[in-house]
């Protein structure tokens, strides 16, 4: 038996195109057994009388099959937009347009964050309609459901469950330092601020961590929330992961991936048309401050015509004394698809009147196909419901696996 095994090992070490399976009685069952790979071939040297049987399959015509796939695993990206108010140019250039580019290279999940939309007073009659409208805009802008999952946040219940579990591990001091909470609560007043506005970042963390996200596209104003997500992932991994989780029957190691921010080089923060120092926002009181994606041609022209400018000659990027000029040039650059250098050269000698006409035409040309496609999608509710249902099913499969691990690691009784 030893002689046969020695000859077999010599053969396997000297034959470059050898694939083999070796199953050898009691010895094989202890050391060499691999379920599902047994092949019955002629016995070499029979039974040696000591209970050792060597069954070898040798192929010299096929290359060895590697144990791991050579196909690279795509990194995962998740992102979403609230269905409050109208989707505007800032949402599009800062988020949705970037998604279209990312979906070809990453495993992507894009959802409508309707649970976040109720942190401040809202119109209950409009929430459902706005949710469907936002989903239709995703698709109209170019999100491809063969490459990305599109779903509604509240349709995957694991978001809320994980938020509660994460809340138990989130120090209140971490939430009290969130800038957005301070700003929004100051505007709304204490009587109108619910607990949800304070715990909003924990829900955002659950949105990200549920899907073991590698990267999260964020604007400058969301970097603080993502940093809290990273800190919370590390905290939960420390408190419940590793050997503690393994003792409870889990796999051990990290429970959550710690995600990294993905900030686009341009367009991450599109500014208001009426104030170049303030972000373009749905909550701004004046509709003149933003270009909505579904604004008709005459409305776009009127808003650009009336937008805030300055008295400096020519057009230029990155002059701190000209925030509006920098913002409008950046919008034109992103809409036209030109480089920053090309736009600077093209517009450097223009006056405001000439440039505004150029920008208006570029916006109308870019948004018109989106508006046409949106109308087609929103008029076919069965198609839209099918997309959202399929997306929620795919998302829930990933989310439920993560949630099950968290429950196990935190010591809950198995369902």
Which residues are catalytically annotated? 184, 279, 282
Beta bridge pairs of residue 156:
none
Contact between 156 and 392 (Cβ < 8 Å): yes
For 47, the 3-state DSSP assignment is strand
For 280, the 3-state DSSP assignment is coil
Strand ranges for 26-135 from DSSP E:
43-47, 53-59, 76-81, 107-112
What is the number of other CB atoms lying within 10 angstroms of the CB of residue 63? 10
> What is the spatial distance between Cα 282 and Cα 229, in angstroms, rounded to a whole number?
24
Give φ, ψ of 20 to 5 degrees: -145, 160
> What is the spatial distance between Cα 310 and Cα 352, in angstroms, rounded to a whole number?
9
Name the helix (H) or strand (E) containing 261.
strand 260-262
Nearest Cα to Cα of residue 58 among 1, 25, 9, 6: 9
> What is the spatial distance between Cα 184 and Cα 180, in angstroms, rounded to a whole number?
6
Give φ, ψ of 128 to 5 degrees: -65, -45
Contact between 212 and 233 (Cβ < 8 Å): no
Nearest Cα to Cα of residue 56 among 73, 69, 72, 39: 39
Contact between 143 and 99 (Cβ < 8 Å): yes
> What is the spatial distance between Cα 272 and Cα 95, in angstroms, rounded to a whole number?
16
Residue 74, exposed/middle/buried by CB under 10 A (0-12, 13-18, 19+)?
exposed
């Amino acid at each position: 038996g030893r002689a046969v095994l020695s000859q077999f090992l010599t053969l396997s070490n000297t034959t470059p195109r050898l694939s083999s399976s070796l199953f050898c009685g009691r010895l094989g069952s202890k050391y060499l057994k691999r379920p599902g790979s047994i092949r019955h071939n002629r016995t070499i040297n029979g039974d040696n009388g000591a209970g050792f049987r060597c069954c070898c399959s040798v192929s010299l015509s096929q290359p060895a099959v590697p144990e791991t796939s050579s196909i690279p695993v795509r990194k995962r990206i998740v992102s979403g937009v609230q269905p409050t108010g109208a989707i505007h140019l800032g949402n599009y250039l800062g988020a949705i347009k970037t998604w279209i580019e990312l979906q070809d290279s990453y495993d992507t999940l894009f959802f409508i964050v309707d649970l976040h939309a109720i942190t401040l007073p809202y119109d209950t009659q409009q929430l459902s309609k706005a949710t469907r409208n936002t989903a239709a805009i995703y698709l109209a802008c170019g999100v491809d459901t063969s490459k990305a999952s599109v779903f509604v946040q509240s349709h995957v219940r694991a978001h809320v469950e994980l938020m509660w579990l994460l809340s138990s591990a989130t120090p209140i001091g971490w939430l009290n330092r969130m800038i957005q909470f301070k700003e929004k609560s100051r505007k709304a007043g204490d009587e109108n601020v619910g607990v949800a506005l304070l715990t909003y970042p924990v829900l955002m963390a659950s949105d990200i961590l549920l899907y073991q996200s590698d990267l999260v596209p964020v604007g400058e104003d969301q970097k603080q929330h993502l940093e809290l997500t990273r800190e919370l992932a590390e905290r939960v991994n420390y408190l419940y992961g590793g050997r503690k989780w393994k003792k409870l029957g889990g796999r051990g190691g990290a429970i959550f991936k710690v995600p990294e921010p993905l900030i686009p080089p341009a367009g991450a923060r599109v500014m208001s048309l009426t104030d170049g120092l303030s972000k373009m926002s749905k909550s701004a009181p004046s509709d003149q401050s933003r270009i909505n994606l579904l604004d008709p041609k005459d409305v776009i022209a009127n808003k650009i015509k009336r937008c805030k400018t300055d008295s400096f000659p020519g057009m230029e990027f990155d002059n701190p004394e000209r925030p509006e000029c920098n913002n409008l040039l950046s919008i034109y650059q992103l809409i036209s698809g030109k480089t920053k250098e090309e736009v600077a050269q093209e517009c450097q000698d223009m006056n405001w009147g000439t440039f505004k006409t150029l920008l208006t035409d570029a916006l109308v040309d870019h948004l018109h196909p989106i508006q046409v496609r949106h109308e087609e999608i929103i008029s076919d509710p069965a198609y839209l419901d099918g997309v959202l249902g399929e997306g929620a099913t795919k998302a829930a499969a990933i989310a439920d696996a993560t949630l099950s691990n968290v429950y196990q690691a935190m010591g809950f009784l198995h369902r």
